Structure formats: C-alpha cells, structure tokens
C-alpha cells in the first residue's frame, strides 16, 4: 500500500511540474526537444541580471517550478530564482570506496550531458555514467547509481507502465536504459543500436535517437523494444538530437541534411540540404516550420510540410548552436554572440556579444537564459523587467 501511495504522489508531482507553462526541462525545451516556446519577446531585449557560478557553464541551464538550474564546470549544480538569486547549491562527487587514513577526498566528476528537470527532481549524469538525482526544491541527493558506461547526451524522461523513468544512453554501444525516477531501479534495457553520440528525445510514446549507422531509431518508452528503424543512407551519421512532435521527428546529419522522419510510414518524406556544414545541432519545430543551424554559422527555416526553403539567416559567424523559437523570434548563439532573428522573415533584429563561448538559450518566464565559459548565467528580457 505504501508503494502505491508513493507512486501516486510521484505521478502528481510530474503533473504539477509539467503544468508550469514556463518549464524548460531539457537543454532544448520539452522532452521532445522541439525548442519551442510561445513566450513573446521584445525585439530589443536588455540584460536583466547576471549570476557568477562556481565555474564555466558550458551546458544549457534548465528551468522548472519557478527556478533555473545550472551546472558549473566543477560539477556544482545551482538553483536560482527568477531574479538570479541563489536558492541552493550542491557539488556532485564520487565518495571513496574504501576507508583510508587520513580519509580520501571525494573523486572529481566530469559532466558533459545537460541537466534534466523531471518530477520535482534534477538529474545529472557524469561522463562515466554515474546518475545523480537531486531534490529540485532543496538540492538534497535522493539517489545515485553508477552505470559504468560513457554518457554525453541529454538524459530524458518518459512514462513506462504508469511510472516515470529516466532514459540514459550508453554512447559507445547505443544501449538505452530506463531507470525508475523514484529509486533508480532498472525498468528496462533496450538492445544496442550502434554508437550514438547525440541526445534522446521523447514523443508519441517512443524514445527517438539517431546513431552512427546513419539510422533513426524509435524505441518503445513502455518496454524498450525497438518499434521503428529508418535508415538514411551511407554518410549520414547523426550526433545531434531529434526534435520529436507526435509521429514526426526532425534530425540533422553529417552530410549537412535535415531529415523529416514519419514513424507511421517508416520513411523520410523529405530532406533539406541548405546547410554547408555538418548538422549536429537540434532543430526547433512549430506546427508550420522547422528552424535549424549547423557548422556553417547560418540559420535556415523550411516548411514543416514538404521542407521547402523559407529563409536563410547568414550570420557571418563560424558555428551556430541549436536554435530555439520564442514567440515570433528565433534565438540562437553563434560564436559567443546571442542573436534574435525574425521567425517570419529571417532578419536580424538584435544581437549581443555575451562571451567567447555561450550555451544555447533557455526560454522561461519571459527571459532568455544562457551560460558562459567564463562562469556566468545571464538573463535577457524586456526592459520593463530590468532589475535595479
């Protein structure tokens, strides 16, 4: 009976968390990685606040339950309120495995994967596969589990048999695991699909990932069985994330193409080839269009239905990170500069030199949030919201 009550409470916490309209639980928006928020922004935002983190912030902050969560280079997870004030701070580490005299220090962790916000928890996964789940309200460690596999992609969240699970991808073997968010127990383990350097997306009851064998895989979130396989042809390895909306996914590849995947037919109805560089970023998707960027420093928009080109924004930069859509604007970080581009016309409306290197933006509470390589988290928004 106690287990049933705990399960109901946990599911209720999922519902409350996902009801927050300003939630941005992954590096690219919702669990489908569609990178889309309906929030409206002024064409000329200002810097609202700046927070000095414990080290370089190289992964995109996430947001949920009225807070912003960032990961600093020394594996310190920090929660901020919407005004940029620190709420709590937790440093991750590996405890010594044996008693020593004097006591051995905690071993350092290295974390490349972005954070995940789900069910009132923050999930952080080290490069060596150690999963840390923190209470998002307090920063207290709820549980941790060493998987002993290399992990660099975004952990994600899904429902499996009525319970919430964290999805973790073994980069080397392409093995996806589902862990119970409540206690870390393994719920299912999928068959290997090949090396996978990108992120896991969730939508339509399936986990979606692109692999180094130039294929897009759909894996049932309920039991881990492969439910779809779409081969893209030689030379189209994938190392970014798929933006998943219902039965459709949109994903880039090494050849510079952006493919639409239809899971109902098991085919790719179209592929856009506007990018002149490898396309290992994650696109942003609305009901009408898809926006993507790549190694050529440009941003492209195509029609969702058919893939026809709408516009190209030539930034003059070198590398454009994953773009996001905020209302009538596209926000994208290019060579340390944050750009706002008109969603309809692809024209630049604003730019700001943030740092040498800056993360893709988070969209929450009417703000754009980014992290920087010199250890700051910054918020941009309407001048009327500027803090004294």
pLDDT, one tens digit per residue, over 55-105 is 999 999 999 999 999 999 879 999 999 999 999 999 998 554 555 555 555
Task: Specify whether the backbone of 31 is left (phi greater than 0), alpha (psi in -120 to 50) or beta.
Answer: alpha
Read out DSSP for 300-365?
Answer: EEEETTT--EEEEEE-S-S-B---EEETTEEEEEETTEEEEEETTT--EEEEEE--SSBPPPEEET
Tell me the C-alpha distance between 216 and 263, whole Å.
Answer: 10
Is the pLDDT higher at 301 or at 277? 301
pLDDT, one tens digit per residue, over 307-338 is 999 999 999 999 999 999 999 999 999 999 99
Residues near 9 by beta carbon (within 8 Å), at least 6 away in sequence: none
Q: Is residue 387 pLDDT above 90, yes or no?
A: no
Q: Is residue 107 pLDDT above 70, yes or no?
A: no
Mean of pLDDT values over 216-243? 94
CA 223 to chain centre: 23
Domain ranges of the chain: 2-385
Helix (H, G, I), strand (E, B) or coil at 292: strand
pLDDT, one tens digit per residue, over 9-25 is 333 333 332 323 579 99
Q: Are 20 and 320 in contact (CB under 8 A)?
A: no
Q: Is residue 371 pLDDT above 50, yes or no?
A: yes
Mean of pLDDT values over 242-249? 97
pLDDT, one tens digit per residue, over 110-165 is 899 999 999 999 999 999 999 999 999 999 999 999 999 999 999 999 999 899 99
Report phi then psi at 284, rounded to 5.
-110, 145
* CA-to-CA separations, 376 to 43, 306, 371, 372, in angstroms, rounded: 23, 41, 6, 5
For the entire predicted model, the pTM comes to: 0.90
Closest alpha carbon to 174 in 224, 117, 136, 248: 224
Strands 76-80 and 206-210: unpaired
* CA-to-CA separations, 292 to 68, 221, 227, 347, 363, in angstroms, rounded: 25, 26, 27, 15, 17
Q: What is the CATH number of domain 2-385?
A: 2.130.10.10
pLDDT, one tens digit per residue, over 188-221 is 999 999 999 999 999 999 999 999 999 999 999 9
Q: Could you tell me how many residues make up the chain?
A: 388
User: What is the model's pLDDT at position 7?
Assistant: 40
Per DSSP, 383 falls in state G
Q: Is residue 1 pLDDT above 80, yes or no?
A: no
pLDDT > 70 in the chain, percent? 90
Read out DSSP for 1-18?
Answer: -HHHHHHHHHHHHHHHHH
Tell me the C-alpha distance between 139 and 238, whole Å.
Answer: 34
Q: Are 290 and 250 in contact (CB under 8 A)?
A: yes
């Amino acid at each position: 009976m106690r287990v049933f009550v705990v399960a109901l409470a946990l599911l209720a916490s999922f519902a409350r968390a996902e009801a927050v309209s300003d939630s941005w639980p992954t590096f690219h928006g919702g669990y489908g990685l569609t990178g889309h928020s309906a929030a409206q922004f002024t064409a000329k935002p200002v810097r609202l606040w700046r927070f000095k983190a414990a080290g370089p912030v190289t992964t995109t902050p996430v947001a949920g339950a009225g807070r912003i969560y960032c990961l600093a280079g020394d594996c310190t997870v920090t929660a901020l309120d919407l005004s940029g004030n620190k709420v709590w701070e937790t440093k991750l580490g590996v405890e010594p495995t044996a008693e020593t005299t004097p006591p051995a220090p905690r071993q350092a962790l290295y974390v490349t994967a972005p954070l995940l916000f789900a069910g009132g928890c923050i999930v952080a996964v080290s490069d060596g596969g150690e999963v840390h789940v923190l209470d998002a309200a307090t920063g207290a460690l709820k549980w941790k589990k060493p998987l002993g596999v290399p992990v660099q992609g975004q952990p994600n969240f899904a429902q499996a048999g009525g319970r919430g699970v964290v999805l973790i991808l073994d980069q080397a073997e392409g093995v996806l695991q589902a862990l119970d968010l409540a206690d870390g127990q393994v719920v299912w383990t999928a068959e290997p699909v090949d090396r996978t350097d990108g992120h896991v997306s969730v939508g339509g009851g399936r986990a979606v990932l692109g692999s180094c064998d130039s294929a897009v895989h759909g894996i049932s979130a309920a039991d881990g069985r492969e439910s779809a396989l779409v081969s893209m042809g030689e030379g189209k390895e994938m190392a970014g994330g798929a933006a998943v909306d219902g039965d459709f996914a949109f994903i880039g590849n090494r050849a510079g193409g952006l493919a639409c995947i239809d899971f109902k037919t098991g085919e790719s109805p179209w592929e856009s080839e506007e990018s002149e560089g490898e396309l290992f970023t994650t696109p942003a998707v609305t009901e009408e269009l898809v926006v993507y960027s790549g190694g050529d420093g440009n941003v492209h928009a195509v029609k969702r239905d058919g893939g026809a080109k709408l516009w190209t924004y030539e930034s003059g930069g070198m590398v454009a990170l994953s773009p996001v859509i905020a209302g009538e604007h596209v926000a994208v970080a290019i060579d340390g500069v944050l750009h706002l581009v008109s969603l309809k016309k692809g024209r630049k409306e604003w730019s700001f030199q943030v740092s040498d290197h800056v993360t893709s933006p988070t969209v929450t509470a009417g703000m754009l949030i980014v992290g920087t390589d010199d250890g700051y988290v910054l918020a941009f928004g309407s001048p009327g919201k500027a803090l004294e």
